Amino acid sequence: MLIKELSRRTGVSVRSIRYYETKNIINSRRMENGYRDYDDDAVERINTIQFYFSLGLNTDDVAKIIECPISIQKDRPLCKAAYELYKTKLNEVDKQLDILRTVQLQLKERIREFERQNH
């Protein structure tokens, strides 16, 4: 299928698909006229990439684990690279949450302070 069709079927822009190719997380063949040609598996591959993005991973992260099996079922484990990347990402998220909680507490205190002085 042509890139435009792949874009339509996945909801991912043509520009993004081209970018994925530069990052080697998706591949195409070139037709005689130079157009990109994708097989039907490309739809599932892009869905997998989008799933990883939904976890907060970036394209460099995805490139490290794109070949790992994805399973929401408990009978098929993820590969070790994905496991390690998930742990790293979770630590980053936890740190960000700690920062946000601190900011939240500081803002609440400032609001209470303002309300005390103006009532």
Reported as half-sphere exposure (CB side, CA atoms, 13 A), residue 14 has a value of 8
Domain spans in the chain, listed from the N-terminal domain onward: 3-117
Residue with tokens 């874009």: 7
* pLDDT of 59 above 90: yes
Confidence of residue 119 (pLDDT cuts 50, 70, 90): confident
* pLDDT, mean over the chain: 91
Report the DSSP beta bridge partners of residue 29: 37
- CATH class of the domain defined by 3-117: mainly alpha
Structure-block tokens of residue 108 = 């609440």
Measured in degrees and rounded to the nearest 5, phi and psi for residue 53 equal -60, -35
* pLDDT of 32 above 60: yes
Among the listed residues 52, 59, 56, the one whose alpha carbon sits nearest the alpha carbon of residue 78: 52
Q: E strands along the chain, which residues? A: 29-30, 36-37
Confidence of residue 31 (pLDDT cuts 50, 70, 90): very high
Report whether 10 contacts 47 (CB < 8 A).
yes
Number of other CB atoms surrounding residue 99 within 10 Å:
10
Residue with tokens 């042509």: 2
What would the pLDDT profile of 81-111 be if each residue is shown by its tens digit? 888 999 999 999 999 999 999 999 999 999 9
